[in-house]
């Protein structure tokens, strides 16, 4: 069972993650013709999707990556001034997707965040 301290920690972590960050980054794929419940039993509770600490960790990775990509994106834009901002961002997206660090929905969020950080 969760104690009060654990619940407070989860609330604190959850409050730091922006509302637009994806909640379920890896939808379940379960075989069979019968309906399935894609959840995990954690501390006596069924959890569907990410827990607050897991979601915080995924957001933290994506936020850090977006901030690191600001300078790389600006360098790419300077190296290829003929490219529009959209073309430059597509180039960055392909590079991120090639690494496999983030899920599709996380990459969508990361690119939107990078656009905000760049004021593009």
- The residues spanned by each domain of the chain are 50-120
For position 29, what pLDDT does the model report?
61
How would you class 73 by CB atoms within 10 Å of its CB: exposed for 0-12, middle for 13-18, buried for 19 or more? buried
For position 26, what pLDDT does the model report?
58
Asked if 59 contacts 53 with a C-beta cutoff of 8 angstroms, the reply is no
The residue with greater pLDDT, 53 or 44, is: 53
pLDDT digits (tens, 9 = 90+) for 48-107: 677 788 889 999 999 999 999 999 999 999 999 999 999 999 999 999 999 999 999 999
In the chain, pLDDT over 70 holds for what percent of residues? Answer: 80
């Amino acid at each position: 069972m969760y104690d009060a301290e654990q619940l407070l920690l989860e609330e604190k972590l959850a409050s730091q993650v922006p509302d637009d960050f994806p909640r379920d980054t890896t939808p379940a794929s379960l075989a069979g013709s019968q309906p399935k419940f894609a959840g995990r039993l954690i501390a006596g509770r069924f959890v569907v999707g990410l827990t607050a600490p897991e979601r915080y960790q995924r957001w933290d990775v994506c936020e850090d990556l977006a901030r690191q990509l600001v300078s790389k994106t600006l360098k790419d834009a300077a190296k290829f001034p003929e490219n529009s901002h959209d073309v430059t961002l597509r180039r960055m997206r392909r590079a991120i997707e090639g690494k496999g660090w983030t899920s599709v929905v996380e990459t969508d969020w990361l690119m939107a965040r990078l656009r905000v950080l760049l004021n593009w």
